[in-house]
Chain A
Amino acid sequence: MAYWIASSPHNHLQSKTSALMRLVIYATIPGILTQWYFFGWGNIIHISLAIATALLTEFTVLSLREKKVSEQLFDGSAILTAVLLGISLPALAPWWISVIGSIFAIAIVKQLYGGIGLNPFNPAMAGYVMLLISFPVQMTSWQPPLELMSVPLDFINTLSVIFTNFTYDGYSVEQLRTHIDGHTMATPLDTVKTNLTLGLTITESMNNIVIGEYVGIGWQSLNLAFLIGGVFLLFKKAIPLVTPLSFLGSLFVCSFIAFLISPDSNASTLFHWFNGACMLGAFFILTDPVSGATSIKGRIIFGALAGFLVFIIRKFGGYPDAVAFAVLLCNMSAPLIDQYTRPRTYGHK
């Protein structure tokens, strides 16, 4: 009788890629619902458009590459990419934004590098950055929260804006973004950045209508919802704890030091944490197992670098939000980080 000798590990987790992807997609649901509550239907329309395009692109490229289409098409990775891209787009962007973005993300960023598991960059964020650089006007026309808008925006009107640039009643995106007093409403991050160049202090900026009671109407709840989704993922052990922890910690340290040095020109840590794509980046983007660092030490460095970059770009860069750029820069440095944080094998030097 021959014994079958296996090497460790002896205990295998029997979950598949598709199960993990499905879990992450479920975890975005609170965020999407919050986005829907505060900003209307725009992002849900963009998410559906992005999913449809992503699946179509994935199907085309997979059949061109003569891969097993049925297996890889529905492993959830393309859908997750599309969902993340759809969430991060401005709600009133025209329809071709999400179409071009997901074609680029799937065909060029993911499949041309070898498909799932081989892409050096996070596809959703690379697609987002491509759009932001190529179409700056559309990609910075953020919709203000519904409660601040002077024109009510329902599903039909949102659909009409996305596909024809005008609502059913003839309002343009610019008019929709205008407050009742005639000012265009920007995102809280953008507002603070512009106000600083105008010589206003942070305290004065905090009185702006888009900030509301805490750090930004809509945006704070949105980030809270992604935080909740992220904690759900942590409990399910779908993502490692260290990456978001070190990212948020690093952002805290940077913004706290800056705040101590000059409280008038630096927003608080809470403002940085609960604005823009911070929580989405921390729990859903940086934790991407493919394009991130792999060891624990490596993940700590990876997250800390991302936090530092987010702060630097938000403070000194030309764009108000920085998560997508920071993620791409960290993706580039991930192989180097892995090189220098290789864990020691027991018994070896």
Chain B
Amino acid sequence: MKLSDEYKELTWQGLWKNNPGLVQLLGLCPLLAVTSTVTNALGLGLATMFVLICSNATVSAIQQWVPKEIRIPIFVLIIAAFVTCVQLLMNAFTYGLYQSLGIFLPLIVTNCAIIGRAEAYASKNPLKQASFDGFMMGLGFLLVLIVLGGIREILGQGTLFDGADLLLGEWASVLRVEVFQLDNQFLLAILPPGAFIAMGFLIAAKNKIDAKLAEKAPKKANVEIERVRVNFDS
């Protein structure tokens, strides 16, 4: 396989075909818990993506020296180290967001999507590809988080990018879009059950698109080998 083909395949796998949020259904806990607004989703998605790239790169770089028997604890240690970095950075620079993400920031350590990529891809592949795979998987996860956060924020409180200044600094408060004015919050969309329902709809939509694509794809013609039947008796 050519190198560019490999990158193409990694992109396709991470963003669509093997998307950690929609297909592997890994890391559901943060996915459902913090996506009540786009800002929260973006914050957690970026943090996860950063950890994923760094841990994939590290795991790939040290793969020769990791004994097979104790690889999982080592992966966990590496991931935990990067999560701690992210946590301290967010604590320092985006304190408001750090507070609203709460326990789900340190919980990135236990996100199965990260350790899954370390085990399944990074520990067997060279540094460049592993980092790229981390980036694409992280991006796929981030996109699902943002879409889910967008749906829930619009339904729940009728806004988009509410509190973006917590993540991006003072200027970002102009990003806040009031889609429509709601007198009451639609609490179901903000509470976790709403996340489950919205997630179900997202997965259904993805399957529907896949089915449509499969329908449109040119069907491989079954090449039948015709044999001439020869009847010698007649």
Binding site for B on A (CB under 8 A): 108, 130, 133-138
Inter-chain contact B197/A135, CB cutoff 8 Å? no
Bound-state Cα–Cα, A133 to B187, Å? 7
Chain B, interface SS category:
helix
Contact with A along B83-96 (1 / 0, CB 8 A): 00000000000000
Inter-chain contact A130/B188, CB cutoff 8 Å? yes
Inter-chain contact B186/A134, CB cutoff 8 Å? yes
B222 within 8 A of A: no
Inter-chain contact A135/B191, CB cutoff 8 Å? no
Bound-state Cα–Cα, A72 to B155, Å? 30
Contacts A108-B197, A133-B191, A134-B186 supplied; 13 other A-B pairs, CB < 8 Å: A130-B188, A133-B187, A133-B188, A133-B193, A134-B187, A134-B188, A134-B189, A135-B184, A135-B186, A135-B187, A136-B187, A137-B184, A138-B184
Kindly name the residue among A108, A134, A135 whose own CB sees the greatest number of chain B CB atoms within 10 A. Answer: A134
Residue of A nearest to B156 (CB): A134
Bound-state Cα–Cα, A138 to B187, Å? 12
Q: How large is the interface on B (under 10, 10 to 19, 20 to 34, 35 or more residues)?
A: under 10
Bound-state Cα–Cα, A135 to B184, Å? 7
In the complex, what's the smallest C-beta–C-beta distance from B171 to chain A, in angstroms?
A: 34
Residue of A nearest to B155 (CB): A134
Bound-state Cα–Cα, A136 to B187, Å? 9
Which residues of A have CB within 8 Å of B191? Answer: 133
Which residues of B have CB within 8 Å of A108? Answer: 197
A-B pairs with beta carbons under 8 Å apart, 7 shown: A133-B188, A133-B191, A134-B189, A135-B184, A135-B186, A137-B184, A138-B184
Which residues of B have CB within 8 Å of A133? Answer: 187-188, 191, 193
Bound-state Cα–Cα, A133 to B189, Å? 10
Bound-state Cα–Cα, A138 to B183, Å? 11
Residue of A nearest to B194 (CB): A134
Near A by CB (< 8 A), chain B positions 160-199 give: 184, 186-189, 191, 193, 197
In the complex, what's the smallest C-beta–C-beta distance from B179 to chain A, in angstroms?
A: 17
Bound-state Cα–Cα, A305 to B191, Å? 27
Binding site for A on B (CB under 8 A): 184, 186-189, 191, 193, 197
Which residues of A have CB within 8 Å of B189? Answer: 134
Bound-state Cα–Cα, A137 to B182, Å? 14
Which residues of A have CB within 8 Å of B193? Answer: 133
In the complex, what's the smallest C-beta–C-beta distance from A206 to chain B, in angstroms?
A: 34
Bound-state Cα–Cα, A292 to B188, Å? 25
Kindly list the 9 A-B residue pairs having the minimum CB-CB distance in the complex, ordered from nearest.
Answer: A134-B188, A134-B187, A134-B186, A130-B188, A135-B184, A133-B188, A133-B187, A137-B184, A108-B197
Residue of B nearest to A165 (CB): B183
Which residues of A have CB within 8 Å of B197? Answer: 108
In the complex, what's the smallest C-beta–C-beta distance from A94 to chain B, in angstroms?
A: 9
In the complex, what's the smallest C-beta–C-beta distance from A328 to chain B, in angstroms?
A: 12
Residue of A nearest to B193 (CB): A133
Bound-state Cα–Cα, A37 to B184, Å? 31
In the complex, what's the smallest C-beta–C-beta distance from A104 to chain B, in angstroms?
A: 8
In the complex, what's the smallest C-beta–C-beta distance from B184 to chain A, in angstroms?
A: 6
Bound-state Cα–Cα, A134 to B188, Å? 5
Bound-state Cα–Cα, A136 to B197, Å? 20
Bound-state Cα–Cα, A137 to B188, Å? 14
Bound-state Cα–Cα, A114 to B213, Å? 25
Kindly name the residue among B186, B188, B193, B197 whose own CB sees the greatest number of chain A CB atoms within 10 A. Answer: B188
Bound-state Cα–Cα, A108 to B189, Å? 14
Bound-state Cα–Cα, A108 to B196, Å? 12
Bound-state Cα–Cα, A61 to B85, Å? 49
Bound-state Cα–Cα, A226 to B198, Å? 37
Residue of A nearest to B191 (CB): A133
Which residues of B have CB within 8 Å of A136? Answer: 187
Which residues of A have CB within 8 Å of B188? Answer: 130, 133-134
Which residues of A have CB within 8 Å of B186? Answer: 134-135
In the complex, what's the smallest C-beta–C-beta distance from B87 to chain A, in angstroms?
A: 32
Bound-state Cα–Cα, A134 to B193, Å? 11
Kindly name the residue among A135, A136, A137, A138 whose own CB sees the greatest number of chain B CB atoms within 10 A. Answer: A135
Which residues of B have CB within 8 Å of A138? Answer: 184
In the complex, what's the smallest C-beta–C-beta distance from A347 to chain B, in angstroms?
A: 44
Bound-state Cα–Cα, A134 to B191, Å? 9
Bound-state Cα–Cα, A246 to B186, Å? 37
Which residues of B have CB within 8 Å of A137? Answer: 184
Residue of A nearest to B188 (CB): A134
In the complex, what's the smallest C-beta–C-beta distance from A75 to chain B, in angstroms?
A: 26
In the complex, what's the smallest C-beta–C-beta distance from B11 to chain A, in angstroms?
A: 33
In the complex, what's the smallest C-beta–C-beta distance from A325 to chain B, in angstroms?
A: 14
In the complex, what's the smallest C-beta–C-beta distance from B36 to chain A, in angstroms?
A: 14
In the complex, what's the smallest C-beta–C-beta distance from A252 to chain B, in angstroms?
A: 33
Bound-state Cα–Cα, A25 to B189, Å? 32
Bound-state Cα–Cα, A138 to B186, Å? 12
Bound-state Cα–Cα, A133 to B188, Å? 7
